[in-house]
Amino acid sequence: MQNFNNKRILIAPLDWGLGHITRCISIIRFFLDNGFSVIVASNSEQKALLQKEFINVEFIELIGYEIAYSKHKNWFPLKLIAQLPKITSRIYSEHRWLQKTIDDFKIDVVISDNRYGLFTSKVPCIFITHQLTIKAPFDWLEQLLQIINYSYINRFTQCWVPDYAGEKNIAGVLSHPIKLPKTPVHYIGLLARFKKEDKAVISYQCCIILSGPEPQRTLLEEIILQQLPALKGNFLLVRGKLNAPTLDISLPNVTVNNYLNGMELQEAINTSAFVITRSGYTSVMELLALQKKSILIPTPGQTEQEYLGKQLMHHHLAYCVDQDDFNLTDALIIAKEFTYHLPSPENSTLNSVLDGLLTTI
């Protein structure tokens, strides 16, 4: 790998939960290690998170899509459809924003994590997604969404998919549709900021990591807080809230943290027998990298997470349960009996993909 000290790269993650920004940590670190100057386009919450991880990254403000969730999962598809005009407007605005930003900040490469408007003919633009298929309740809607999805992806120079090529993949039809977009697709392996500690001492029976958009994050937290007092053993609850008041639940066997940075979270997961979290793809990648037994709870109404949870459970990579049926005691009992087949992580192919990209700069 060559060193490109004079190249400036713009990285822009989607603002849908913390998953897009946390998986960009691996991307940011990768480009810093390879001699790029990194500029991150983000909102204030994403910036606050990344500033806990990096001191040598420049930030510029970019408004997010600000997608709102519904309290009841059956209403979410309709609520998402109602927000399409706003989302389309934001895509158009960020496309215009990019033209000026490239000139103002002398950008050489653009990396967009699911931000559809960040394409241009001025410089190479990379689109990162694991959703080449966007799951929907109806086949006709799923086909329509793929047409729209590809119409944007095909405007980028390349599409990077954080999954393995071939049959032994993680995301199933999400990342391996029958038909690929026209733009070159590269499978780059799992994006995970964590490393497994083989001799870690287990300190917690379970690490519970809350994440994702409101109000579903809080609804799950309320369910868990109601059930924690009945449990024995040590538990760690990570609330996934950067600037919230401290939560005092007065349980001697439960440790509560609003937020843990990357190294702290890696240690927490390594020292826990089980992890309970959403079936967001970034969370899944990190748990598989650590070869950790997990209990996944899909965000209600988010079809991608519901599909992924079933996919992982079918292949014995995780145990999955719906939020409406979630009982913490029962889930831990069943998970202990569940047969996990956790594969050894394969090497990332990012270096070879980047070498190919740099020949186009």
The full set of domain ranges for the chain reads: 8-190+347-358, 204-337
Residue 135 pLDDT > 60: yes
Domains 8-190+347-358 and 204-337 share a fold: yes
Query: What's the rounded mean pLDDT across residues 259-269?
Result: 90
Least confident window among 149-163, 187-201, 314-328: 187-201
pLDDT value for 347 = 61
pLDDT at 227 exceeding the cut of 60 = yes
Question: Pick the residue with more confidence: 245 or 252?
Answer: 252
The CATH topology of domain 8-190+347-358 is Rossmann fold (3.40.50)
Indicate the average pLDDT of the chain.
87
Q: Say if residues 126 and 110 touch (Cβ distance below 8 Å).
A: yes
Q: Cα 348 to the chain's mean position, in Å?
A: 17
Instruction: Give the pLDDT confidence score for residue 202 in this predicted structure.
Output: 93
- The arrangement of strands across the sheet holding 37-42 comes to 58-61, 37-42, 8-13, 109-113, 125-128, 158-161, 185-187
Give the pLDDT score at 318: 96
Lowest mean pLDDT among 146-150, 156-160, 209-213, 355-359: 355-359
User: pLDDT value at position 1?
Assistant: 44
Percent of the chain with pLDDT over 70: 89
Tokens of 94: 């960020």
The band of 244, judged by pLDDT with boundaries at 50, 70 and 90, is confident
Say what the pLDDT of residue 226 is: 92
* pLDDT beyond 80 at 260: yes
**Cα separation of 51 and 124, whole Å?**
26
Residue 340 has pLDDT above 60, yes or no: yes
pLDDT at 350: 67
Q: What tokens appear for 268 in the block?
A: 């927490």
CATH class of 204-337: alpha beta
**pLDDT at residue 349 in the model:** 66
pLDDT of residue 154: 97
The Cα angle at residue 153 between residues 82 and 302, in degrees rounded to 5: 40
Q: Please spell the DSSP secondary structure of 40-99, one letter per residue.
A: EEE-HHHHHHHHTT-SS-EEEE-----PPPPSSGGGHHHHHHHTHHHHHHHHHHHHHHHH
12-58 pLDDT, tens digit each: 998 876 778 888 888 898 889 888 999 999 988 889 889 888 989 99
Q: What are phi and psi of 13, to 5 degrees?
A: -90, 150
**pLDDT single digits (tens) 137-170:** 778 888 888 999 999 999 999 999 999 988 889 9
Q: What is the pLDDT of residue 74?
A: 59
Please give the pLDDT value at position 278. 94
| pLDDT tens-digit map of 54-73 | 989 999 999 876 666 656 66
Beta carbons within 8 Å of 332's beta carbon, 6+ residues apart = 205, 206, 231, 274, 295
Q: Residues 149-152: contacts with CB within 8 Å, 24+ apart?
A: 149/181, 150/181, 150/182, 152/91, 152/116, 152/119, 152/127
Q: Which residue has the tokens 């713009």?
A: 10
Rounded Cα distance, 235 and 252, in Å = 10
